[in-house]
Chains A and B, each alone.
Chain A
Amino acid sequence: MTVLKTENVSILFGGLMAVSKLNLELKEGELVGLIGPNGAGKTTVFNMLTGVYKPTSGSIVIKSKNRQFQSIIKLHPYQITRLGMARTFQNIRLFRNLSVLDNVRIANHFNAKYNTLEAILRLPSFYKEEKRIKEDSMELLKIFNLQHKSKELAKNLPYGEQRQLEIVRALATKPHILLLDEPAAGMNPQETQELMDLIRSIKEQFKLTILLIEHDMNLVMGICQRIIVLDYGRVIAQGAPAEISKNQMVIKAYLGKEMENDA
């Protein structure tokens, strides 16, 4: 069952073809890794999938929450998130000056069943929904063992926990597709190991389809069921981790061409 599909997606920045003719398909419940050398266009792919960039050509469809396929080419990022595809950012983009709880509450906002007038007049529906939102948020924080830090400012958390909070915040939008942009960047091996377990467990618990960008090959090879390799905006290989690690094209892209014998 496909949940996300791109067909011949290309994007031009000025004269530069950043991503060209990308064909990508995610099946329900898959955990797919997107790898490639620096500047290969991985984050650009993410930005196109989430509506930050508009592709120059091609089509992207996702299965929305009500299980219908929908083109997302013309949608804004917030509309795509509401359809059920959430993301994290490579360079952490938390609401730094707000509390951990507020960070998660904000992601719950569009699910809140009261309007601004009810909020200003403090009608019972407001208290009821606020209570629900708070409970839901705390529940999520508990999974990541952040509940006792709910009142701290996001910027005061240690780096690893900031990364985790980004994932919590994305989960709070109740997605069924989750895009993780380098979730393990800057983490030590111990933290990376914990993160791997965490990603596996939330995938099961929330029935997620996950696409992740990562440079840490341990993590990628360890948890991904399928890997897509990008180089200069093109897919050069895809397949199971074992195949990818032996693929000559991939090795060449990462390590460069072997020198010709001088003979």
Chain B
Amino acid sequence: MSRQYKTTITSVWLLAVGFIIINGLVALRLIDEYTTQVLTIGGINVIIALSLNLISGFTGQLALGHAGFMAVGAYTTAALIMQLNVPTFLAILAGGLMSALFGLVIGLPTLRLHGDYLAIVTLGFGEIIRVIMINLSDITGGPAGLKGIPPFTTNFFWRPVLSFALVQLFLILVIIMLSNLIKSSPGCAIISVREDEIAANAMGINVFYYKIFAFTLSAFIAGLGGGLYAPFFGYLNPNMFNFLKSVEFLIIVVLGGMGNITGTVLAGFGLTYLQEFLRFLKDYRLVIYPLILILMMLFQPAGLMGIFGNKEFSLTGFVRNLKRKQIFRRRSASDKAGDHQ
């Protein structure tokens, strides 16, 4: 077996062990229920912020309506579970697909244009979705919201554990999918669209196709995030998915660094935790967000990961490094043994 696969297998193994350990801690309540809940919300936020990063950070097309895609995913999932008794897992996937469909329909006319049209259209889309959800009261419960969405499990002990595990599992899958995509040739094509559309086109890259592809995939992932949110939170209200929610995701992306997956993950969990941590400031905590953003733009415009040269954390790279050091150590040990003789 090649070294590449061995490294991959070791990484997967490490990831699985880490995943089981952290879930064990959650199940044993060594991580308390409050923290678990914050981490779960954080995970959902990161999933949606990553989807936004794909279209805005990697493809360079500013989108301002990701709360709308989240809403489509959340309401689709909730409706399927409540009205048609679809299994939760399938309903979440259906939420993602429905959101992707919306992405495709919005993207087809707008992504042909250059510049910031997508930002304006997605901004409008987010608001339209919100208004539709308010008025479609048969399915969505209208402005009063949708109550009593069945959770992942009714068992009180397992509910937080299962929510946490499922969200983190989806998060890991999304991260693997995105980073594999970005590092491959299609990913290069996506990034080239951001760098220079005209040059990308002249290099044989179907710019429009890759914009549509990235936007639809982005909508799909945001829909999944929304789909996870519905059964986890148990209650949906159209006003949860307003423009400010979209901006929140954008702030995570900008803060972590446009086009950096590691940064989005760190900023997503960080900001979610900060929001909870600062509750004692009451309404003033809303000042902290823009303040961080202003300071960031002044001193570190490339985002959090800009400090580290915009590098990505790579598990396989980490494993490779460890192995190299180990080999080095073994060699130096045998050298020393040789000296003694």
Contact = CB atoms under 8 A, between A and B. Distances in A.
Interface of A: 50, 52, 76-78, 81-82, 86-87, 89, 93-98, 102, 105-110, 112, 114-116, 119-122, 126-127, 129-130, 133, 169-170, 172-173
Given A93-B196, A108-B185, 16 more contacts: A50-B202, A76-B201, A78-B200, A78-B202, A78-B204, A81-B203, A93-B198, A93-B199, A95-B191, A102-B188, A106-B189, A109-B203, A116-B181, A116-B186, A119-B186, A173-B204
A125 to B, nearest CB: 11
Nearest to B4: A127
A107 B267 CA distance: 33
Contacts of B198: 52, 77, 89, 93
Contact of A81 (B180, B186, B202): B202
Nearest to A166: B199
Contact of B177 (A96, A108, A120): A120
Contacts, number: 102
A65 to B, nearest CB: 12
Interface in B182-198: 184-189, 191-192, 195-196, 198
* Chain B interface mostly: helix
Contacts of A114: 185
B100 to A, nearest CB: 14
A122 B196 CA distance: 27
Which of B185, B200, B207, B213 gathers most chain A CB within 10 Å? B185
B136 to A, nearest CB: 34
B189 A119 contact: no
A119 B195 contact: no
Contacts of A77: 198, 201-202
Nearest to B199: A93
22 contacts: A76-B206, A77-B201, A81-B203, A82-B204, A86-B202, A93-B199, A95-B199, A96-B195, A96-B196, A97-B195, A102-B191, A106-B205, A109-B186, A109-B188, A110-B204, A112-B185, A116-B181, A116-B213, A120-B181, A129-B185, A133-B185, A172-B203
A132 B177 CA distance: 23
Given A93-B199, A109-B205, A116-B213, A98 B180 contact: no
B196 A119 contact: no
B202 A87 contact: yes
A86 B201 CA distance: 11
B176 to A, nearest CB: 8
Contacts of B203: 78, 81, 86, 106-107, 109, 169-170, 172-173
B37 interface: no
Contact of B205 (A78, A93, A98): A78
Contacts of B187: 119
A170 B181 CA distance: 24
A110 B204 CA distance: 6
